[in-house]
Amino acid sequence: MTKSAITHFLFLVLLVGMSRLVNAQSLSPEAQMLVKRGQAALDKDDFALAIRDLEQARQLAPKNSGVLRPLLLCYLQSGRLNEAVKLGREAVASSPNDTELHHWLGLAYFKVGQNTEAREELQQAENLAVGRSDIHFDLALVLLSQVQYAAAASQLETALRINPSSSLAHLLLGRAYQNTNRTLDAIDQFRSALRIDPNAPLAHYHLGFAYASLGQNPQAISEYETEVSRTPDSPEVQYQLGRCLLESGDWKSAVTHLQRATELDASHENVFYELGKALLLSGNVVGATGALQRAIALNPTDPSPHYQLARTLDKSGDPVAARKEWQRFAELKKSHQETGGMATGRNQ
Of 278, 111, 283, the residue nearest 292 (C-alpha): 278
Per the CB < 8 A criterion, the answer to whether 305 and 274 are in contact is no
Residue 346 has pLDDT above 70, yes or no: no
pLDDT for res 26: 77
**Mean pLDDT, to the nearest integer, of 326-348?**
71
pLDDT digits (tens, 9 = 90+) for 213-239: 999 999 999 999 999 999 999 999 999
Give the rounded distance of the alpha carbon of 175 from its chain centre. 10
Distance CA 297, CA 24 (A): 64
Per the CB < 8 A criterion, the answer to whether 146 and 115 are in contact is yes
pLDDT digits (tens, 9 = 90+) for 33-49: 999 999 999 999 999 99
Give the rounded distance of the alpha carbon of 301 from its chain centre. 29
pLDDT digits (tens, 9 = 90+) for 109-122: 999 999 999 999 99
Distance CA 185, CA 194 (A): 15
Please, is 72 exposed, middle or buried when counting C-beta atoms within 10 Å of its C-beta (0-12, 13-18, 19+)? buried
Distance CA 145, CA 106 (A): 14
Q: Which H, E and C letters describe 183-247, residue by residue? A: HHHHHHHHHHHHHHCCCCCCHHHHHHHHHHHCCCHHHHHHHHHHHHHHCCCCHHHHHHHHHHHHH
Of 115, 80, 119, the residue nearest 103 (C-alpha): 119
pLDDT for res 335: 83
**Range with the lowest mean pLDDT among 22-31, 104-113, 273-282, 330-339?**
22-31
pLDDT for res 16: 33
Residue 24 has pLDDT above 70, yes or no: no
Q: Would you place residue 20 in the very low, low, confident or very high pLDDT band (cuts 50, 70, 90)?
A: very low
Bigger pLDDT: 5 or 118? 118
Residue 6 has pLDDT above 80, yes or no: no
Give the DSSP letter string of 57-77. HHHHSTT-HHHHHHHHHHHHH
Contact residues for 298 (Cβ-Cβ < 8 A; gap 6+)? 267, 268, 269, 272
pLDDT for res 174: 98
Give the rounded distance of the alpha carbon of 70 from its chain centre. 26
Q: Which domains does the chain have, with CATH numbers?
A: 40-128 (1.25.40.10), 270-348 (1.25.40.10)
pLDDT for res 340: 55
Distance CA 268, CA 205 (A): 19
